[in-house]
Amino acid sequence: MQHTNLFQEEKVLFEPTYGQGSSDVLEVIYAFPNEYTIGITSLGYQVVWRLLASLPGVRVARLFTDIHEPLPAQVDAVGFSFSWELDFVHVITQLENLGISLRAEERGEEEPIVFGGGPVFSANPEPFSLFLDVFLLGDGEELVPTFMQALQQFKGLDRKQKLLRLAQIPGLYVPSLYEVDYESPTSPVVSISSSQAPSLVQKQTYRGNKLSSSSVVTAHSAWENIFMVEVVRSCPEMCRFCLASYLTLPFRTPSLEGSLIPLIQEGLKVTPRLGLLGASVTQHPEFESLIDYLDQDEFSEVHLSVSSVRANTLTPKIARTLAKRGSKSVTIAVESGSERLRQIINKKLSAEEIHQSLHTAMDSGLTGMKLYGMAGVPGETFEDLEATIAMLTALKKEAKRFRLSFGCSTFVPKAHTPFQVYGVDAKAEKKLQYLAKALHKQGVDFRPESYSWSVIQALIARGDRRVGEVLLKAREYGGSLGSFKRAFKELKGQIPPLDFYVHENWNDLSCLPWNHLMGSVVEPMLNKHLLDAQSKMILA
């Protein structure tokens, strides 16, 4: 790895402290387990970097898989921002390259505290408890300053004492202080307990009026020179598979005048490219007013893009302004063409609304629409696939001279959602092939995502801490699906089989691997949603 001048080409939108403000500097390496171009595009990574680099007495160096800033000789803490399960290989490699013991339990007094945050760790950190000392569960705005202050305060303590003290802070999870019991090595988890740390760790929620925005603008990010503003956090819709909603609730909407407009004005001083981000941006109660604001002549040179919008919130005004400000297409998640399936997953969207959103987009001057869906959703039958084919065929006929594509992933269960108990549908690959064949015949641009990777994602999303051994071996054998199968074969008799984690339904499990970690939505509410979904499956 080398230093490069990519860092010098950045426009940094804040003033780092460079460790000033304290006589005893805390040296931190903050890693993203992928290349610079990908990592610097992550708003979550940018925001935590800014938090770290703004704290007095903290000196932070950024590390990506291809480049890094000058690294300190003596490091107090190494952090990972982790948002994509399949980057696990790079976490292990980065630890190795830094010369840090891979197993947390083998780390000596001179080695740094290894910590991590981000959606994957906040949902289910268990498969990574072999490697990390501390997980930050929840919003960085709340956790990062508290964690750093605690590290400064506990600097003189030995490692064990340090971890014990950290574990008492809300939202900080130290897995080595928890006992996980199984009836046998190949049985599910039966209990999780701790005599030294809180029995439940509560995810922390930030409630300030200012959400995140870019800390850095660069031509070398995946979205070139973009300034990103988080318009909403979470989503109130609660589609039953959706981590972006359940894990991050409550839905938060900063005010337009007091927060969003000042942030946008700051960003537009350094770049004309503006991205409005969030799980459901058009549901911000003042979104139309924000669009009116950006529709003014003074912003005629601005290039505006938004993340996925809900079909029934795409108004002619929003679509026209997006087209006028340089967006070519909009992205809409429909999940399925089947009304029945949309009810099962709690997607409150009618066929008319989907068709209407297409016409709104076509009439506005946009030139395309990207639709997204899923195969293998719990309760899905081949009739539901037929309904998806019929819907896309009809949309394609209506969308003359308009680019229409349909991206399709496999349902992957996520912790803390009502569908956490469902396994990946073993027929999902066949279903994707079926859709591909039928939609190809209709001339629909079909873009399936890899089924094999969904299997690995599910393993990590639903894994307990025994899966850490699988990750180590799979990475040694190259990280492909084949290497995971080989790892499970070698560990036979020591852990449950791959099928248990990935494909089996867990309705009867008394203890989920993340039972000791509290998300945003309480268990009775998750169960209520699950029962409602199941009642609709039976009615079918």
| 3-class SS letters over 152-206 | HHCCCCCHHHHHHHHCCCCCEECHHHCEEEECCCCCCEEEEECCCCCCCEECECC
3-class DSSP assignment, residue 475: helix
Burial class (CB in 10 A: 0-12, 13-18, 19+), 49: buried
Q: Which is nearer to ligand SF4, 7 or 422 (CB)?
A: 422
Q: Which is nearer to ligand SF4, 293 or 372 (CB)?
A: 372
Distances (CA, A) of 352 to 69, 312, 380: 52, 9, 21
Which residue from 171, 167, 170, 189 is spatially nearest to 180, judged by alpha carbons? 189
Q: Which is nearer to ligand SF4, 235 or 260 (CB)?
A: 235
Closest distance between ligand SF4 and the C-beta of residue 420, in Å?
A: 15
**Sign of the torsion angle spanned by Cα atoms 429, 403, 318, 258:** positive
Q: Which is nearer to ligand SF4, 150 or 351 (CB)?
A: 351
Closest distance between ligand SF4 and the C-beta of residue 102, in Å?
A: 35
- Asked if the bond preceding 250 is cis, omega within 30° of 0, the reply is yes
Closest distance between ligand SF4 and the C-beta of residue 356, in Å?
A: 17
Which residue from 172, 190, 97, 165 is spatially nearest to 132, judged by alpha carbons? 172
Q: Which is nearer to ligand SF4, 26 or 43 (CB)?
A: 43
Which residues pair with residue 81 across a beta bridge?
A: 117
Closest distance between ligand SF4 and the C-beta of residue 408, in Å?
A: 14
Interaction site with ligand SF4 (CB under 6 A): 235, 237-239, 242, 244-245, 279-280, 310, 333
Which residues pair with residue 323 across a beta bridge?
A: none
Q: Which is nearer to ligand SF4, 279 or 415 (CB)?
A: 279
Instruction: State both tokens at 207.
Output: 């409630």
Instruction: State both tokens at 222.
Output: 């995946």
Closest distance between ligand SF4 and the C-beta of residue 447, in Å?
A: 18
Closest distance between ligand SF4 and the C-beta of residue 427, in Å?
A: 22
Closest distance between ligand SF4 and the C-beta of residue 243, in Å?
A: 8
Task: Say which residues have a Cβ less than 8 Å from residue 81's Cβ, sequence separation at least 6.
Answer: 30, 31, 32, 39, 42, 44, 45, 48, 116, 117, 118
Which residue from 444, 371, 445, 379 is spatially nearest to 411, judged by alpha carbons? 379
Closest distance between ligand SF4 and the C-beta of residue 119, in Å?
A: 12
How many other CB atoms are found less than 10 A from the CB of residue 199?
11
Q: Which is nearer to ligand SF4, 81 or 283 (CB)?
A: 283
Q: Which is nearer to ligand SF4, 13 or 279 (CB)?
A: 279
